[in-house]
Structure 1
Amino acid sequence: MRTWRRTGSGSDVRICSNLESYECQLLASMVESITELLNERADSAPSDELSAITGIATGHTRAPEDATLGRLLPDFHRPDQEDNLTAAPVVSDLNGGLRSVNEPPIIDEKLAAAQTVLQTLPPDGGDIRLTEAEADRWLAALTDVRLALGAMLGIDDQPMRLPPDHPQAAHRDVYDWLSVVQGLLVEALMADEWTQSDWETGE
């Protein structure tokens, strides 16, 4: 993969790069897997009469049992985040209510981000030209793919290195590659802000 670069100005700004065919196929496969997980979660949400009447979608009240979905759709509150929510039932009820209302639109946003990636990926490799809005959705989708891989690899806040012969070494390499792709995309999106900041400070 080549680095991301920012071209144009105003409404004509594009965030550009070039991906090899195998990179596009790998990324598409991972994004499609995330899409399947999220669609299954949305489709399995319990029916709600009030939702049918009001048209306001409601979702699950319980966190996913699947570790990957648990990373993608975490609880809103944990007992260690709020000193005044020390009782586990209180936290559980709060999470259930928040999840029921907020999970459907969160899933919709994640699916929209995934769809943007799939629509803008050249199937056989080649140039990519994204609007800033599309680039933002790429960032969101890349985050979800990295979270899913991180769940599978057991990655937490501590850095982890795997020996080359480890059965998950290839997956770790993909995780690191995605981290680079995402980091370079962030830099390209922020390039104009940095230029403006340098101009204002005279640097």
Structure 2
Amino acid sequence: MRKWKRIQTADGPRFRSSLAAHEAVLLQNLVTSLLGMLEERESSAPTDELHAITGIRTGNPQPPQDDTLRRLLPDFYRPATEHPAGSGTAESLNSALRGLHEPEIIDAKRDAAQRLLGTLPDGGGKFELTESDAQAWAASVNDVRLALGTMLDIRPDGPHRLSQEHPMAGHLDVYQWLTVLQEYLVLGLMGK
């Protein structure tokens, strides 16, 4: 992957880069997997009879059981201290907020992922993005990084290396590549 190059045009900024064929395939596979996880989560929402009447969709009120999805769709509210009424208050609030907002959050993540896939060069090569496409790329790459980072148990202090025997050792390089891809794109979006 080359660094992103910001080009100013009459229609606004454009962001140019290129991907090797294997990088394009890797990114396509990762984003497609992300879409599958989001689809599975969306389909886990219980049937809501009011949806047919009001058209308002509701999400699954229960937090995801999977750590990766829980990282992508975290709780809305985390109390700073224990509530006198117990943890049920925070759980109830999170359940209500999940039911109300999770469909739109999943839609936004799906839209960004589909825009990335729609602008990804088949077989690699040079490509150019509009500013809104570049923002979708940044959002989708961030989601993929969050998912992969959760699977690798990445925390602020590491790991920076995994032993060769670790079943996910090769994925750490992919995580680091995604970090560089996102960092250079964000810098381009900031005009730096």
Cross-structure match for 1:127: 126
Match of 2:117 in 1: 118
Q: How far did 1:127 drift?
A: 1.1
Q: CA deviation at 1:166?
A: 4.0
Matched with 2:16 is 16
| Larger proportion of helix | 1
- Percent identity reads 46
TM-score calculated relative to the size of structure 1 = 0.89
CA distance in 2, matches of 1:71, 1:10: 39
Q: Which structure 2 residue ranges, 5 or more long, are not aligned?
A: none
Distance between the aligned counterparts of 1:85 and 1:54, measured in 2?
Answer: 36
Amino acid at match of 2:139: A
1:34 partner amino acid: L
2:26 matched residue in structure 1? 26
**What is the match of residue 138 of structure 2?**
139
Q: TM-score, normalised by structure 2?
A: 0.94
Q: CA deviation at 1:9?
A: 3.2
- Choose 56-65 or 9-18, whichever is displaced more: 9-18
Distance 1:153 1:119 in 2: 28
Do residues 172 (structure 1) and 172 (structure 2) align?
yes
Alignment correspondent of 1:93: 92
Q: How many correspondences in the alignment?
A: 191
Q: How far did 1:86 drift?
A: 6.5
* Counterpart secondary structure, 2:189: helix
Bigger mean CA offset, 166-175 vs 57-66: 166-175
> Structure 1 counterpart of 2:184, which letter?
L
Whole-angstrom CA distance in 2 between matches of 1:85 and 1:56? 33
Mapped to 2, the partners of 1:10 and 1:159 lie a distance apart of: 43
**Which ranges of structure 1 fall in alignment gaps of 5 or more residues?**
195-203
Cα distance change, pair 86–122 in 1 and its aligned pair in 2 (3 A)? farther
CA–CA separation in structure 2 for the residues paired with 1:111 and 1:61: 19
Aligned residue type for 1:95: N
Separation in 1, partners of 2:82, 2:5:
45
Q: Is the contact made by 1:79 and 1:85 (CA closer than 8 Å) also made in structure 2?
A: no
8 Å CA contact 1:79–1:86 kept in 2: the answer is no
What amino acid is the match of 1:185?
A: L
